[in-house]
Chain A
Amino acid sequence: MKKGLFGASVSAILVPSVYLVVSILLFVFGVKTGLEKIAGQRSSLTEAGKTQTVLQQKESLLRQIAPEVGAQVEVLANAVPEKNPALTMISQIKNLAAVSGITITTFKVGGVNAAGAVSFADVTFDADGELISLISFLNTIKTLAPLSTIDTVKINQQAGTASANTRIRVYFAGYPTKLPSLTEAVGELTAEEEGLLETLSGLSPPSFTTLFPQEPTVRESPFN
């Protein structure tokens, strides 16, 4: 009888204790799992928020610059072209010489150096004219597109006529081949870049002639 009484007491404590332990285990496991899931979600939410901010900023910037970017590309593609601009520079120098009253006697295009981030080619020419016009002509070369630097100039003057053997360096660089990832931020131009763009916009661009295709015409017979 005593054994039965002892068993009932144990049962009276053991059964609710099992419920309590199960409840606590459920609580602990549920809270731990739930918190992990929610933390993962918060992380995804933050990431999605950041991505959206980047995309919004990018879309807004692209819409804002869309009307003017074409003109900027044209200016800069003239300033630093993709391909060797030696012939373009020769044309620019000839035009400038004609305006400055300078006679260009010889032109020579040297080899291309493509070792660095920007490639260059040397253009050498001989020019004759009045000394003041010649120096003014040399000083105006820096206002021509594509960008160039004066390497050496040897000037001789005799009997009021000056002649200059000039070597300038013209620069070019290949275009970028990859766009950044869609979700990668793109920044607008910095103040320094804006200033540089304004300076380069002042360069005299080369003039190109565009030949438009013409419709075929009837060729007259030369035998009639």
Chain B
Amino acid sequence: MKLFRENKILRFLGSLKLALFLFCAIILVCFIGAILPSILPEDRQLDFFGSGWFFALLTVFGLNIAICAFSRLSFAAKKIGSTLVHLSVLLILLGSMLSYFFSIRGTMEIEEGQSQDRLMLGCKIHKLDFRVHLEDFAIDWYSAEPDKYEIRARVDPENILAAFRLNKAQEQKIANTGYSFALKDYFSDFGLDENMRAYNKSSQPNNPAVLIGIISPSGAQEERWVFANHPGMGMDRDNNIKFRFNFQPQVREYRSRVRVIDEKNNLTRNALIKVNQPLSYKGYSFYQVDYDHDQLKYTVLEGVYDPGVRFVFAGFLLLNLGLGVIFYPKLKPGPKTENK
């Protein structure tokens, strides 16, 4: 303790002056780092916060807190909160340092019915001593039924607008226009085969389209595809009537049903991985990050090994505790705040 007070360099390194300077420096640097991604062009983005000098800045800050905290280290009841807060900030910084140096983060693509024991870290491979087997991958939609959505029609030159719910086989009349139409077909994933015939590529709503049969006032008939994602792309014979198909189903959940197979320990474990519900095994956590957009035949998981997390969270817990200990008594009404 005495050393901290007598050595000039240590005294400077633990000083409040340096602390305030570092606080300001970090605030300024963070501000630049926050706006930089929106200023820089797409192909010239920087890893600003992962850079060596930002790391150095945080290290000096950590050193500042450490020296300051240890030189005044006190577990007296009055000081315990402050000690707790500064040591916990230090713990968070140390934890994030562990993450910075030792975490492993890679992706793993697994086909249904297959197993995988490798994480791809860019072009490097990290081998695990267990396998993850994908039983199946699925997506739940909030509502992917087309009858929940609307078809809008506009008839020119009168500019008459009308909106309809889809209802197969039932003919709909557009009032005051003489037009009527009916829904003939619905494809969730419209595609054309080699003979240019329309077919449904998958049950996923990748390119939803409806086939509408139109009867014009003159009695002429037309069948027309209307695409949810590409309004105005259909080929219209009768230009006086236009349709819009407002179909935007949203994903409720991505689900990978997996089995962890650990042959070394003769162990298997079933798990369901969803966003916000990772699988943890032997220090690794697996997150749902991507999938096969066409066929839903494979899933993409991110595997993370991060030895710093527990320290960071322990630090956060202590930080909150410490702040409670410091500030709760300070909020009690005192003489200064009476009689306003």
Asked whether A and B interact, the reply is no
A residues in contact (CB < 8 Å) with B: none
Interface residues of B (CB under 8 A from A): none
